Chains A and B, each alone.
Chain A
Amino acid sequence: MGEARILLRSDAVAAPGDPAEVERKLGVAELLWNDGFVRKAAIIVLLAALWEAYGTWLDNPLLFPTFHDTVVTMFDRTRDGTIPLRAWASLKVLFMGYGAGIVLAAVFTILAISTRIGTDFLETVTAMFNPLPAIALLPLALIWFGLGNGSLVFVLVHSVLWPVALNTHSGFKSVSNTLRMVGRNYGLRGLPYVARILIPAAFGSILTGLKIGWAFAWRTLIAAELVFGVSSGQGGLGWFIFENRNLLDIPAVFAGLLTVIVIGLIVENGIFRTIERATVQKWGTQS
């Protein structure tokens, strides 16, 4: 029987004056390109350029105004206060419906995780109502709540409630058993348990639900305003679009649509991205 021998190598000792490359600074271009915001801005600039090119080539402002005309109109209408006023009218109703929808979704999901019959209830009603387009309820809502914000809020709640409840509930269900046991180990139960363990652990899914709910609500609202427009003398963005189409002021129609898009982009990339960066990305639960 022989013995194993250890042969020492000097590779691990860095030679003086020749340090091994462990870290390298990235170049400016590479750094910029790594920023999601820069990449997305580049895509938007490209799309705007395509729009401008097609509009100029078509040369028919009644069918397809150029990007330049649209932006000028948007700027004018913003300066004279029309667009901000209309956008605010829309957003006000949206916040009411979105808020009410989230509160209801919270109540439903808390019921669903605390009792088995609650789970069955949530799963059944979500399966029933989630596929139903919110806008299909509008005629009914008009009969029930009249021509006003009540009807709008009703359809908004319908469009927010189900996706938020569904995502939150599936998020709660996928919280790992270990984390549940950890929470109970400290004597947490009931609402503190939900608030301290389940909600943060399922935050990624909840945020997804909130994003989907937001998008559903926004598009439902604009569509609903297009259908019946004015309520209490002050229409929203949907009505602004409808009104200007009737006046054949197509650049203004485009300006209205662009405003809808811009608000959507701001909420998605500004608000939701910031929340994501400060929570699920920082915690490493979502990349």
Chain B
Amino acid sequence: MAALLDVNGVTLRYKTSSVVVTATEKVSFSVDRSDRFVLLGPSGCGKSTLLKAVGGYLKPSEGRMRIQGREISEPGADRMMIFQEFDQLLPWKTVLENVMFPLLMTRRLPRKEAGQRARAYLEKVGLTRVVDSYPHTLSGGMKQRVAIARGMAMEPDILLMDEPFAALDALTRRTCQDELLQLWEETKFTVLFVTHSIAEAIKIGNRILLLSPHPGRVKAEIVDVDRVSGDDGSAGRLEQQIHDLLFADRATAH
């Protein structure tokens, strides 16, 4: 079976006012259907840039990216982005309208069906109570849940999540992670998830791509991550291994 998302030898460069920065160099990976694929690395490894490129916001200067065999050339609703920032919800629309908005804008569904589907997904994330509220009245965790519902309601080929829980407090973050896994159990969506937290990567992912910084290169790919568990300490051991891997060259460099 061909991979759902195929990233092949992608080099990403962007210009600042004085220099050209290479964010990632010749990165290759492929994501299969129903994968929970995590891009993990320290800051400066270009993981967010890579995700934005998959989202279609950046063009790679080398290599190619295909989703379902189609070349990625611009942003599109087949790849729904979920951002870290709380202001990703449109403040002038209610929670329900926010979830309906992409469905209507892409003419995916007529208004009535869009409303029904939006309600269904809001129920999945446990927000039936606030459908008619405006985003500014919600807590950070609720805002991120709305964003996830909005992404999932489009039923995209892949969900792109850019550290969606990083700005949450520790307790809410854990709840949101558990809920995301619960949702995955129900619908088996495909997600590409960016994080800098090793623990979060192990908890969320079934495959982890480890990137090294300056510029971002693939250091390792970790598969069958969902076999480890926190109960027998295997998750802890994996966390330690990844940690050692990430900081190995830092020890030699100093």
Which A residues have a C-beta under 8 Å from some C-beta of B? 176, 178-179, 181-182, 184-188, 192, 196-197, 200-201, 203, 279, 282-285
- Stretch from B21-29, B100-108, B209-217, B243-251 forming part of the interface with A: B100-108
B77 within 8 A of A: yes
Q: Are A203 and B87 in contact (CB under 8 A)?
A: no
Q: Which chain B residues numbered 67 to 96 have a C-beta less than 8 Å away from chain A?
A: 75-77, 79-81, 83, 85, 87-88, 90-92
Are A187 and B75 also in contact (CB < 8 A) when A181-B83, A282-B134, A283-B134 are?
yes
Q: Tell me which residues across on chain B come within 8 A of A197, comparing CB atoms.
A: 90
Q: Can you name 18 extra interface pairs (CB under 8 A) apart from A176-B85, A178-B85, A182-B81?
A: A178-B83, A178-B88, A179-B88, A182-B83, A182-B88, A182-B90, A184-B57, A185-B81, A186-B77, A187-B75, A187-B76, A187-B105, A192-B105, A283-B92, A283-B134, A284-B134, A284-B136, A284-B137
Rounded to whole angstroms, the CA-CA distance of A197 and B88 in the bound complex is 11
Q: Tell me which residues across on chain B come within 8 A of A182, comparing CB atoms.
A: 81, 83, 88, 90
- CB-based nearest B residue for A192: B105
Rounded to whole angstroms, the CA-CA distance of A145 and B134 in the bound complex is 50
Rounded to whole angstroms, the CA-CA distance of A179 and B81 in the bound complex is 11
Listed by A's residue number, 22 A-B pairs whose Cβ atoms lie within 8 Å are A176-B85, A176-B87, A178-B83, A178-B85, A179-B87, A179-B88, A179-B90, A181-B52, A181-B55, A181-B83, A182-B81, A184-B75, A185-B75, A186-B102, A188-B105, A197-B90, A200-B92, A201-B90, A203-B92, A283-B91, A283-B92, A284-B136
Shortest CB-to-CB span from B15 to chain A, Å, is 15
Q: Tell me which residues across on chain A come within 8 A of B105, comparing CB atoms.
A: 186-188, 192, 196
Rounded to whole angstroms, the CA-CA distance of A249 and B90 in the bound complex is 56
Rounded to whole angstroms, the CA-CA distance of A266 and B90 in the bound complex is 31
Label chain B's interface by main secondary structure: mixed
Label chain A's interface by main secondary structure: helix
B60 within 8 A of A: no
Q: Tell me which residues across on chain A come within 8 A of B83, comparing CB atoms.
A: 178, 181-182
- CB-based nearest A residue for B135: A284
Shortest CB-to-CB span from B110 to chain A, Å, is 16
Interface string of B10-40 (1 = CB under 8 A from A): 0000000000000000000000000000000
Rounded to whole angstroms, the CA-CA distance of A185 and B136 in the bound complex is 22
Rounded to whole angstroms, the CA-CA distance of A203 and B102 in the bound complex is 21
Chain B contact-residue range equals 20 to 34
- CB-based nearest B residue for A177: B85
Shortest CB-to-CB span from B53 to chain A, Å, is 13
Q: Tell me which residues across on chain B come within 8 A of A201, comparing CB atoms.
A: 90-92
Q: Are B77 and A185 in contact (CB under 8 A)?
A: yes
- CB-based nearest A residue for B150: A182
Shortest CB-to-CB span from A222 to chain B, Å, is 35
Rounded to whole angstroms, the CA-CA distance of A226 and B52 in the bound complex is 59
Q: Tell me which residues across on chain B come within 8 A of A186, comparing CB atoms.
A: 77, 101-102, 105-106
Q: Tell me which residues across on chain A come within 8 A of B77, comparing CB atoms.
A: 185-187
Q: Tell me which residues across on chain A come within 8 A of B85, comparing CB atoms.
A: 176, 178
Q: Tell me which residues across on chain A come within 8 A of B137, comparing CB atoms.
A: 284
Q: Which chain B residues numbered 127 to 158 have a C-beta less than 8 Å away from chain A?
A: 134-137
Interface centre among B52, B76, B92, B105 (most CB of A within 10 A): B92
Q: Tell me which residues across on chain A come within 8 A of B52, comparing CB atoms.
A: 181
Rounded to whole angstroms, the CA-CA distance of A184 and B83 in the bound complex is 13
Rounded to whole angstroms, the CA-CA distance of A283 and B89 in the bound complex is 11
- CB-based nearest A residue for B107: A187
- CB-based nearest B residue for A196: B105
Q: Are B106 and A279 in contact (CB under 8 A)?
A: no
Shortest CB-to-CB span from B74 to chain A, Å, is 8
- CB-based nearest A residue for B79: A185
Rounded to whole angstroms, the CA-CA distance of A205 and B230 in the bound complex is 51
Rounded to whole angstroms, the CA-CA distance of A25 and B90 in the bound complex is 33
Rounded to whole angstroms, the CA-CA distance of A196 and B101 in the bound complex is 10
Shortest CB-to-CB span from A193 to chain B, Å, is 10
Q: Tell me which residues across on chain A come within 8 A of B134, comparing CB atoms.
A: 282-284
Rounded to whole angstroms, the CA-CA distance of A188 and B90 in the bound complex is 14
Rounded to whole angstroms, the CA-CA distance of A200 and B134 in the bound complex is 14
Q: Tell me which residues across on chain B come within 8 A of A282, comparing CB atoms.
A: 134
Rounded to whole angstroms, the CA-CA distance of A185 and B81 in the bound complex is 7
Rounded to whole angstroms, the CA-CA distance of A196 and B106 in the bound complex is 13
Q: Tell me which residues across on chain B come within 8 A of A188, comparing CB atoms.
A: 105
Q: Tell me which residues across on chain A come within 8 A of B55, comparing CB atoms.
A: 181, 185
Q: Are A178 and B76 in contact (CB under 8 A)?
A: no
Closest 3 CB pairs of A and B: A284-B136, A200-B92, A283-B91
- CB-based nearest B residue for A193: B105
Q: Tell me which residues across on chain A come within 8 A of B81, comparing CB atoms.
A: 181-182, 185
